[in-house]
Amino acid sequence: MPNDVEVLIAGDRVPVYAHPGDAGADLLAAEAVVIPPGERATIGTGTAIALPDGCVAFIVPRSGLAARHGITIVNSPGTVDAGYRGEIRVTLLNTDAREPFEVRVGDRIAQMIVQEVLRARFVPVESLPGSHRGEQGFGSTGYRGRAASTEGAPE
């Protein structure tokens, strides 16, 4: 099974896979910004790509920035469509209540995961086929481990 795909790229900040086997290639900031506590900023990466048809790129947060500084992405995962040729931009949110977050040019602010994607053919029907889960959702199975949960209704 091929596990790579050619993605054309314009701009001098090429995303970097830090290790072999990494799913995400780090995106670099093309501009310097200071994000005050609780605020957001949309930051250019100086990068534009041409994904092959049938692919998508998802822009997702970096766990180190999240754990150390409370930095996340407002619209995570950001979706880069195969037909998009504009600059990839990342809307960071500083969730820290006290510390501003400084982004410098060249900082690795997010990561991009390239995937194959199916396109749905939506087929209208009168009723949907049955399934084990049915209409259960939104926490219907609870969240505590079995040992900790009381019997009966899910918590």
Ligand X SMILES: O=c1ccn([C@H]2C[C@H](O)[C@@H](COP(=O)(O)OP(=O)(O)OP(=O)(O)O)O2)c(=O)[nH]1
Question: Of 118 and 125, which has the nearer Cβ to ligand X?
Answer: 118
List beta partners, residue 40: 93
Burial profile 46-59: b = 16 or more Cβ within 10 angstroms, e = fewer: bbebebeeebbbbb
Among 27, 28, 43, 80, binds ligand X (CB under 6 A): 80
89 near ligand X, judged by CB under 6 A: yes
Question: Of 52 and 154, which has the nearer Cβ to ligand X?
Answer: 52
27 near ligand X, judged by CB under 6 A: no
88 near ligand X, judged by CB under 6 A: yes
58 near ligand X, judged by CB under 6 A: no
Per the annotation, binding residues are 62-64, 75, 79-81
Closest CB to ligand X: residue number: 78
Residues 6+ apart with CB under 8 A from 59: 27, 73, 76, 77, 78, 79, 80, 88, 90, 110, 111, 112
How do beta strands 8-10 and 101-103 pair? unpaired
Chain residues in the site for ligand X (CB under 6 A): 59, 75, 78-81, 84, 88-90
